Amino acid sequence: MYKGDEKDTSLVDDTTELEKHKSFDLVHASKEQEAKKEMHTDAHSVPLPELFARFGSDPDTGLTTAKHEEHLARDGKNLLTPPKTVPSLVKFLEHLVGGFSALLWLGAFLCFIGYLLDSSEASNLYLGVVLVLVVVITAVFSHYQDSKASKVMDKFKNMIPPSATVIRNGEQSEVPAEDLTVGDIVKVKTGQKVPADIRMLEVANMKVDNSSLTGESEPLPRTIECTDDRFIETKNIAFYTTFCKEGTGTGIVIATGDRSYIGTIASLASNTEAVETPIHKEINHFIKIISTIAIILGIIFFIFGLFVYDIISNVVFCIGIIVANVPEGLLATVTVALTLTSKKMARKNVLVKNLESVETLGSTSTICSDKTGTLTQNKMTVVHIWIDGKIETTDTETSSASFDGNSECFKALHQVCSLCNRAYFPSDADAHKPPAQRKTEGDGSESALIKFVQPIRDIIEHRGKNPVVCKIPFNSANKYQVDIIDPEDGGPYMLLMKGAPERIWKRCATILVNGQEVPLDDNWIQQCQAANDELGSNAERVLGFCRYELPPDQFPKGFEFDSDDPNFPLEGLCFIGLTGLMDPPRGAVPLAVETCQAAKIKVIMVTGDQPITAWAIAKQVGIIRSPTVKEFAEENGTDASKVTPDQARAIVISGDELESLDDDELDRVLSFPEVVFARTSPQQKSRIVGGCQKRGEIVAVTGDGVNDSPALKKADIGIAMGITGSEVAQEAADMILLDDNFASIVKGVEEGRLIFDNLKKSIAYTLSSNIPEITPFILFILFRIPLPLSTVLILCVDLGTDLIPAISLAYEKAEADIMKRKPRNSQTDKLVTAKLISFAYLQIGVIQALAGMYTYFVVMGDFGYSPFELPFTAELFGLDGEGSSLTVDSGTYSW
């Protein structure tokens, strides 16, 4: 077992540069290297009097108007500074002149020069115009496909509350959230978003949803005491844009805008440079090869031509040789092939935003996956129950129910889960859905309980027939909740209780076993404790349940119960059992992880959740299959830092531990085959991705929260969730999983590997026509044989007859071993290799050239021109443009 520690609500500032940066740059730099630093502040830990003095505020009256205006002038509004954006026109120009398009522009330019040098040869003009058209049409098509440009900062707009309740000059009022400054005293209540980073001064059962920042599924309680040195971990801070799920609170604003925690994430996400895709690198590599071959051949034939032609004719001929080596149809082939694959992937619930990322996924060697909502379902679920002395499983995506629904003990558990519960289904609009998919209102754990019992009996009907006559709400001091019901069978009042297991069984004298109440002796307490420990070791949240039938002689019908000063027994109750709740893995994930590992793709979990929870989920889905470094070190009495991957294959690292590691030590951690990172900040996630990339890995990152957006941008390919994913994460990503299923990535990897294989086939096919297209020019210049293939005809081949077969290769099926081989090494396994060039040029190309020239000589022979008569007769075969008969030495031939 692992042990371890309607108003514009824009967040983006649209004011001028001067207004934007008054003294702000002194406080926060929006450069990537600055943003990567952890947020360091002592505002959560300094004594409150010092904090109030620092901000010139007062706990009762807040800021004065003068002080507020001073802070506002100094720090600016509570907004995020937008990064510089690339205009759409510039992006289109990148498609128009970048990469392979540059080679075609060069070809077109040379054609126009050739036409200017020899205007009698109109074919060069036609060829140049066609090349320009090919480039422009392809660029428009590519730009359209990639038009969903990253607008990460725009999506932060939807996260800010429009207004905030603030105390200034001793008066409470509603003000625009953008006008908040440090030192303001603000109030937050259930259902509101926190309008800035605030330190809590007063709380009343306040819980906040930090899942978008930390990945934790459960709402987290807030306190007024500092509980951790790390700003992100302490419970006395409520973060900007997080949601108050329960209770109320009052706090002092300690950070606004870019200086807030989410501001650092926004800055990191928007300033992280996009990584060049592997396919883009391969195409650039291919351009260098083809350009080199074309230029070398052009120079060689230019030298030969000096002995035959005048200088102008020779230059025109040299240009023809170079253009003949440019595969004009390849740009269209690659673009169409990638588009076809992206459409296939969309049918498999993978939406491709950037065409080039299609192949990147196939090259992926490491997947850094978020836990919550990606590997798991992002909803608390009852996964185990303990009744009648046995741990039983429940119906989930990865397990089926093993309990007896007719047992008396389960019926009692069902009763308490349904009736001692405040959660409910707010709408009947989704009543047709399975309970697990319905929306609930209430505490996450209680919502899980009603989803568990709803299939057995409708909770509304159940509660209607068993009215609650008295209730004691759950509080952190007692750690239990009590409801007294008037049962539907007309029997005595029944007291129901649930809460922390050890608190529950200590209030019990008996335990329900096989329908009988037996004494809760030491043996049964040990069994309860063992079951509690076992469920807890799986990172499950354990709840205990008990009940007690109140004696009718002491508590007759109509008895006045007092919940403030209980006038009913809370001891000597009957223990029923336990439930284990957790955010369980998705059903298809374990097999998907296994498939990735078979394909030699390393899966690393990177989560903001607790280490023990991360470890438990990693074990369940197969990311961890071996003892961890800490387990090995404990068993062998060695230093965990000295343990090697040969001794222990798995390692779990917390955010605190990661912060103390230098780059070499991080590299050592990443060398382990099975790696889990827990309690990581957005900056640390980016660092992990960078560490993998330094090792030469092609990294895919999955995520759904705001905290994942910097890593999604940093990765070679970012993959966001389509259902639960935040808009910020979706805009930062290159791909979106429409079904939020990690297993869909495996399908995408297969398609990515397949497109790489098929592109190699398309390129080999396209390049094989270069030799047969150049051969007539070679014979023409060396032996003055009449030119059988003009540049216009070459264009007809490249953009006509060759294009459709080349594209059709994109439909090739995958090889049988495609998901069993290692990911390609981006340093050595190139799209265009020496082997492919020799195959296309020296094998298939030579065969095609011989076949073409043989056919040429046969056809010419049929018309009376012997192959032995053709050399040095090229001038005699020039067309006059009118289609009239031309006389040659061997007779008259009508064209």
Catalytic residues: 370
Are residues 37 and 645 in contact, defined by beta-carbon separation less than 8 angstroms? no
Exposed/middle/buried for residue 870 (C-beta within 10 Å: 0-12, 13-18, 19+): buried
Are residues 265 and 709 in contact, defined by beta-carbon separation less than 8 angstroms? yes
DSSP label of 840: I
The residues, ordered by sequence, that sit 6+ positions from 49 with a Cβ below 8 Å of its Cβ are none
Per DSSP, the residues of 755-814 read HHHHHHHHHHHHHTTHHHHHHHHHHHHHH----SS-HHHHHHIIIIITHHHHHHGGGPPP
The residues, ordered by sequence, that sit 6+ positions from 866 with a Cβ below 8 Å of its Cβ are 890
Strands 674-678 and 650-654: parallel
Per DSSP, the residues of 38-74 read -----TTTS-HHHHHHHHT--TTT-B-HHHHHHHHHH
Dist CA 137 CA 159 (whole Å):
39
Q: The tokens of 548 are what?
A: 């007690």
Nearest to 414 by CA among 537, 481, 498: 498
Residue 560's CB: how many other CB atoms inside 10 A?
Answer: 8
Dist CA 383 CA 448 (whole Å):
10
**Residues facing residue 582 across a β-bridge:** 381
Distances in Å between the Cα of 236 and the Cα atoms of 200, 216, 233, 879 are: 5, 17, 9, 89
Q: The tokens of 567 are what?
A: 């006038």
The secondary structure element, H or E, covering residue 386 is strand 381-387
E strand map for 565-624: 573-582, 602-606
| Cβ contacts of 399-407, under 8 Å, gap ≥ 24 | 405/456, 407/514, 407/515
